[in-house]
Structure 1
Amino acid sequence: MTYLFRGFGWVARRPGQWLFGLIPAVIVLALYTALLVGLAVQVDDLAGWLTPFADDWSDGARRVVRTVASVALFGAGAFLALLTFTAATLLVGEPFYEKLAERVEDSQGGAPPEPDESLMTQIARAVRDALILGAVAVCFAVAFFAFGLLPVLGQTVVPAVAACVSGYLLAGELTSIALERRGVRRRERFALLRQNRPLVLGFGVATVLTFLIPLGAVLAMPAAVAGGTLLARERLAEKPANTGRDKSVHGEY
């Protein structure tokens, strides 16, 4: 959690950098807000479509089931939005956040040189990684929607697990700029995260909880990028990744 606090401290001392980092987050927020409002308007109809088995039930039982389904459906959508917000914002604002991360590193002694790659190669990799993360997020959102229908567990254990999963993946996105500058690609990056799970979860879950505050995802995004850069620079980049392709147990994530 300290790295998120340090990120806030870094941007607080440099308000110009904070404003600079807000631009892409505001753009993505406007898009995601429109999508979530649309989901909220249609959620009752979608809940009815997903629970046709309740059509012949009594009014009370049908209302309870579809209310739970509506809450779970909107919660899955909000989880998906939260999980992909960082990836989408980093994708839209890649030039902004690369510059912000570079300035964070310069303030700590200097950033390594840019990798010797063409701009198109970097963009293609960023898009591919965002699509992969989006696919993973959709799978988790579907699973959490299904488990969210369970009484008690769906309203207690499932949100806690969802916070840990989203925190883990968010940490991977927020450290990506600094690690890719050092030649650490997605597979090796998540190998590093697996080696440092408590550290990564502390940073990631704290960021998720901050993002749950109204407008927190926008206002805290520059600080989260700064904190992720410090985390990658000080605790992850110095450790060799296990590149033995141990995907049989953990997969790429």
Structure 2
Amino acid sequence: MRYPGLRRFVLLPLLVNLVIFGGGTWWGFSGLESYLDQALPGWLSWAQFILLPLFTITALIMMFYTFTLVANLIASPFNSLLAEKIERRLAGEIPSPASSVLQVAKEAAGAVGSEVRKLLYMAGWAIPLMILFLIPGLNLLAPLLWGLFGAWMLAFTYLDYPMGNHGLTFRDEKLRLRQHRGLAMGFGSAMLVMTFIPVLNFFAMPAGVAGATLLWVERIKSTG
């Protein structure tokens, strides 16, 4: 690794991601086939060869995104520290001395609180999107909408770390991302694709934090 000082902040989120994605993928795929058989209405059996891939893609997006949220919730204190260290490196600053135990605890609590707010925000959109599966005709749009939603939330998830380190509120973060909607969707889409690629998805979390921090420093930070 190029910067030895960053190693521990990368390895801890990487370990969390490995455990969550490894165990979650095994559990998810073991029940995916039976779930899809039950989810597809009998009267649509004639279109199974078209709808089954769409339902499969949607289920995979939901499954992998859920794993990502859980992994980020657990590793959020380390991800915030990783974003801080990377930004200091990019700015050419000398890494700050080790924080006190109290300061670390406050930062960890803030990071976890931010993840909880993102979960609530996600639920506010995810529930209506899930209802689409129950509406004939509209359920065909569900995979596309879930893909767009997943890309947006992944961008929000990872860009929250550098923005949160600068004291931006949850509302301010949403405004910043809306100002750079295309940029955020492009980054989020790349991260969404990465979560589908075996082996690479284990590295998605530290890569996402690093990429989001670079995006923040070079494209978003100065435009506020």
Q: Distance between the aligned counterparts of 2:123 and 2:201, measured in 1? A: 18
Query: In the alignment, what sits opposite 1:24?
Result: 16
Q: Is the 8 A contact 1:76 1:144 kept in 2?
A: no
What is the TM-score with the length of structure 2 in the denominator? 0.75
Deviation at 1:192, TM superposition (A): 0.7
2-structure distance, mates of 1:14, 1:115: 22
* Residues matched between the structures, number: 213
TM-score (norm 1): 0.68
Matched with 1:9 is: none
1:76 shift after superposition: 2.3
Residue 132 of structure 2 aligns with which residue?
143
Residue by residue, what CA displacement relative to the aligned partner does 1:69-104 show, whole Å, maximum 9, x if unpaired? Answer: 544433322111233333222111112212221221
Does 1 or 2 have the higher relative contact order (CA < 8 Å, sep 6+)? Answer: 1
C-alpha spacing 1:133/1:215, structure 2 compared with 1 (3 Å): farther
Unaligned runs of 5+ in 2: none
What is the Cα-based RMSD across aligned positions, in Å?
3.4
The answer as to 2:152 corresponding to 1:168 is: yes
Q: Contact between 1:83 and 1:137, CA under 8 Å: does it hold in 2?
A: no
Question: What is the deviation of 1:105?
Answer: 1.5
More helix by share: 2
Q: What is the aligned partner in structure 2 of residue 3 from structure 1?
A: none
Q: Percent identity, aligned pairs only?
A: 24
Secondary structure at the counterpart of residue 222 of structure 2? coil
For the residues of structure 2 that align with 1:20 and 1:35, how far apart are their CA atoms? 23
Q: Deviations over 1:126-179 (max 9, x none)?
A: 2232233244234335537866864xxx6xxx7555443322221111110111
Q: Deviations over 1:42-84 (max 9, x none)?
A: 2254135xx25x2xxxxxxx64345555444333221112333
Change (3 A) 1:145 1:75: farther
Counterpart-to-counterpart distance in 2, 1:141 and 1:186 = 24
Measured in 2, the distance between the counterparts of 1:74 and 1:233 equals: 37
Matches of 2:49 and 2:139, distance apart in 1: 10
Aligned to 2:170: 186
How far, CA to CA, are the matches of 2:192 and 2:176 in structure 1?
20
Judged with a 3 Å threshold, the aligned counterparts in structure 2 of structure 1 residues 78 and 142 are, in CA distance, closer, same or farther, namely farther
Identify which of 198, 205, 208 aligns with 1:214. 198
Correspondent of 2:188 among 193, 200, 204: 204
- Could you tell me whether the CA contact under 8 Å between 1:171 and 1:200 is conserved in 2? yes
Letter in 1 for 2:167: G
Please state whether the residue corresponding to 1:88 is helix, strand or coil. Answer: helix
- Partner residue, 1:103: 85
Quote the residue 1:94 is aligned against. Answer: 76
**Paired AA for residue 165 in structure 1:** F
Q: Is the 8 A contact 1:84 1:137 kept in 2?
A: no
**1:31 to 1:132, Cα distance in 2 relative to 1, 3 A:** farther
Take 1:118 and 1:213, find their aligned partners in 2: how far apart are those partners? Answer: 32
- Residue number in structure 2 paired with 1:124: 113
Structure 1 unaligned blocks of 5 or more: 1-11, 55-61, 241-253
